[in-house]
Chain A
Amino acid sequence: MTLPQKADAALRAVPPRAVPLLAHARAQRGRRSRSVVLVLLAALVVVAAFSLAVGAYSLSVPDLLRTLTGQGTQSENFIVLSLRLPRLTLAVLVGVAFALSGAVFQTVLRNPLASPDIIGVTGGASAAAVFGMLILGFGSVATSLAAFAGAIIVACAIYLLAWRGGVVGYRFVLIGVGVAFMVQGLLGYLLSRADLNDAQGALLWLVGSVSGARWQDIAVVALVLLVLLPVIRLLSGPLRALQLGDDLASSLGVGAERTRLLLLVIAVALAATATAAVGPLAFVAFVAAPIARRVLGTGGLALIPAALIGALITAVADFTAQHLLPGQLELPAGIITGAIGAPYLLWLLATSNKTGKGA
């Protein structure tokens, strides 16, 4: 066997159009992904403009631009920059955080049900926050910290319970769903024992709302995103390998178990931060990535589209909750995200019977 010459011959035998074909396919994927991102960004800008301009006191577009560049009247400055902008910013940031958390969870566990709101991670945050509020009399900062700690504790518990020489997606999800029920039970107990007024406040927190956004909350979420987004970008290669299953990922040189643990830690931190800031906004983490993947349709990770869709969902939900419902009733955004997410969950459960699909 004269191997080297033959290998060269085989390389030369590649039809000349095969290599450009690959470049073409890649360019096509790139174009598709770029246009999806641009459309989502444009939609986000429109929604943002509406959120800032429309309300009890509405501004025209030129007025809005003038105010944003710092040349508005005193009342415009107060309404747009002090009331509406923090609220919109927080909605967008937690939307991104929830969406990326869900996307990473669903990808590393290869299960569309594996999102922090379904498997009890945000539930753990809720229980801890409500415990802090009702039993320990925590203020808002301490409540946020308690929520963060609760998410971490529940995630660790699920991971340890699911561990059997490794973690398999479906076992993680089943245990997570079980844990979520336990956490709900605990929440019910806490609420039923509480004073009616306190319980009312806790319930409002539990639905999730971005009203009353403060710049220090925004700064915390922004900082966490600033640190974790580059890490996710660095890990997107291994994440893409993990999409092909543990065996193939290992064969490609990715330490599946270690990479998964690292990515889960990041995803839990994102969900915990967002929940600590605004409460458990239902279903944003759960629906954002699947919608993004369906829109993109290339089998890629779709992390950026997912983040933008998450931001869109929370921004639209908050706007809807404020303005589009009859009467003067203002609802927490979590009601709206829940109304979007719950039918999707039903649809998913009704249509997906194929194992190993969907993420």
Chain B
Amino acid sequence: MTPRLRAEGITLGYDHTPIIDGLDLEVIPGAITVIVGANASGKSTLLKGLSRLIKPDAGQVTLDGRNIAALPGKKVATVVGLLPQQPVAPDGITVADLVGRGRYPHQGWFRQWSSTGDEIVAAAMVATNTHELAARRLEDLSGGQRQRVWIAMALAQDPEILLLDEPTTFLDVTHQIEVLDLLLERNREHGTTVVMVLHDLNLAARYADHLVVMRAGKIVATGAPADTLTAEIVRCAFDLEARIVPDPVCGAPMVVPIGRFHGRAADTDPAPVDPAPSTRSRVQQQV
């Protein structure tokens, strides 16, 4: 399949200070693409550029070959949806109301709802297991529930390409897995293209079909996680010495950082610094 959404030599930034400079990216249809990179490497900025939240200073983002900035906003919104990192909601809004607002791009000036719209909203709520919460207020929910509601809203928008900025931040590990499984399920069952920024490299490697590794506004590696997540690339992108082992659950590459205190001399791939045993035990006790 030819990519629908692509970035062509885009330069993105705030106040004319480029954060991303001349970047090319093709979003692979039907796949889960995960963007990883150190803080301030331009991951979120790239996502905002792809969803036309920031206008490129140079280059363009195209949807089916046409410049996304020139297309009508509502029309783009039926194809590309973005869930920002920290969305805000008005006080007192109920789950059903919030999820329903995802239908906005499909609504006319006067018709606020339709039975098909209701079915799509209901399906989104069932898929995210939020239908039992329909009458609850958003502010009364736990962090994990709230994130599922936001994802339900993004699903109600029913975009073919769903962009998510760190959907698992602020969640404990159980809810992280829950959210990622949910997105994987959506991808596999509906063919929704998913592009998301994740901080956890191991979860990124596990859930990504396609990994994009960024550093300082540039893509340093891209491809299947097994080919992309090598010790050398982790060192290059994160300035981190790490060993890569297969994830015992699914075989995806797993990044095991070494750090200053934990390398063992007997290992085949020794850490650069191995402190005295006494230091190490003290550190371990602290941990």
Of all chain A residues, the one with the shortest Cβ separation from B105 is A253
Complex alpha-carbon distance, A228 and B190, angstroms = 43
Q: Which among A26, A234, A245 is the interface contact of B113 at CB below 8 angstroms?
A: A26
Residues in chain B near residue A193, CB distance under 8 A: none
Complex alpha-carbon distance, A245 and B86, angstroms = 9
Interface of chain A residues 303 through 322 with chain B (CB within 8 A): none
Query: Provided the pairs A1-B30, A19-B122 are in contact, do residues A237 and B102 lie with their beta carbons within 8 angstroms?
Result: no
In the A-B complex, the 3 residue pairs with the smallest Cβ-Cβ separation, listed nearest first, are: A299-B93, A253-B77, A253-B74
- The size of the chain A interface, using a CB distance under 8 A, is 48
In contact, B89 and A244 (Cβ under 8 angstroms): yes
In contact, B105 and A299 (Cβ under 8 angstroms): no
Of all chain B residues, the one with the shortest Cβ separation from A251 is B82
Q: Mind listing 9 A-B residue pairs with CB under 8 Å?
A: A7-B190, A22-B122, A240-B101, A243-B88, A251-B83, A253-B75, A293-B91, A299-B91, A299-B97
Of all chain B residues, the one with the shortest Cβ separation from A10 is B189
Residues in chain A near residue B102, CB distance under 8 A: 252
A11-B123, A247-B84 are known; give 11 further A-B pairs, CB within 8 A.
A3-B30, A10-B189, A15-B126, A18-B126, A237-B107, A240-B104, A247-B82, A248-B84, A254-B104, A293-B90, A298-B92
B→A interface (CB under 8 Å): 14-15, 30, 48, 51-53, 72-78, 80-84, 87-94, 96-98, 100-102, 104-105, 107, 109, 112-113, 115, 118-119, 121-123, 125-127, 131, 134-135, 137-138, 157, 188-191
A→B interface (CB under 8 Å): 1, 3, 6-7, 9-11, 13-15, 18-19, 21-23, 25-26, 28-29, 110, 164-165, 234, 237, 240-241, 243-248, 250-255, 293, 296-300, 356-359
Residues in chain B near residue A245, CB distance under 8 A: 84, 87-88
Q: Taking the nearest CB of chain A, how far is it from the CB of B111, in angstroms?
A: 10
In contact, A22 and B189 (Cβ under 8 angstroms): no
Q: Which among B53, B77, B125, B190 is the interface contact of A10 at CB below 8 angstroms?
A: B190
Residues in chain B near residue A15, CB distance under 8 A: 126, 131
Query: Provided the pairs A7-B190, A253-B74, A299-B97 are in contact, do residues A244 and B87 lie with their beta carbons within 8 angstroms?
Result: yes
Of all chain B residues, the one with the shortest Cβ separation from A18 is B122
Residues in chain A near residue B94, CB distance under 8 A: 25, 29, 298-299
In contact, A25 and B97 (Cβ under 8 angstroms): yes
Q: Taking the nearest CB of chain A, how far is it from the CB of B26, in angstroms?
A: 20
In contact, A19 and B119 (Cβ under 8 angstroms): yes
In contact, A1 and B122 (Cβ under 8 angstroms): no
In contact, B190 and A359 (Cβ under 8 angstroms): no
Q: Taking the nearest CB of chain A, how far is it from the CB of B225, in angstroms?
A: 19
Residues in chain A near residue B157, CB distance under 8 A: 251-252
Residues in chain B near residue A23, CB distance under 8 A: 118
Of all chain B residues, the one with the shortest Cβ separation from A256 is B53
Q: Which among A6, A300, A358 is the interface contact of B190 at CB below 8 angstroms?
A: A6
Of all chain B residues, the one with the shortest Cβ separation from A7 is B190
Query: Provided the pairs A25-B94, A250-B52 are in contact, do residues A7 and B189 lie with their beta carbons within 8 angstroms?
Result: yes
Residues in chain A near residue B191, CB distance under 8 A: 1, 3, 7
In contact, A253 and B73 (Cβ under 8 angstroms): yes
In contact, A165 and B77 (Cβ under 8 angstroms): no
Query: Provided the pairs A6-B190, A250-B73, A356-B88 are in contact, do residues A241 and B97 lie with their beta carbons within 8 angstroms?
Result: no
Complex alpha-carbon distance, A11 and B118, angstroms = 11
Of all chain B residues, the one with the shortest Cβ separation from A22 is B118
Query: Provided the pairs A251-B77, A252-B77 are in contact, do residues A22 and B109 lie with their beta carbons within 8 angstroms?
Result: no
Q: Taking the nearest CB of chain A, how far is it from the CB of B19, in angstroms?
A: 13
In contact, B81 and A251 (Cβ under 8 angstroms): yes
Residues in chain A near residue B74, CB distance under 8 A: 253
Residues in chain B near residue A14, CB distance under 8 A: 119, 122-123, 126
Complex alpha-carbon distance, A252 and B53, angstroms = 11
Residues in chain A near residue B100, CB distance under 8 A: 22, 26
In contact, A243 and B90 (Cβ under 8 angstroms): yes
Q: Taking the nearest CB of chain B, how far is it from the CB of A195, in angstroms?
A: 49
Residues in chain A near residue B109, CB distance under 8 A: 234, 237
Residues in chain B near residue A244, CB distance under 8 A: 87-90, 101
Residues in chain B near residue A164, CB distance under 8 A: 15
Q: Taking the nearest CB of chain A, how far is it from the CB of B76, in angstroms?
A: 6
Residues in chain A near residue B138, CB distance under 8 A: 299
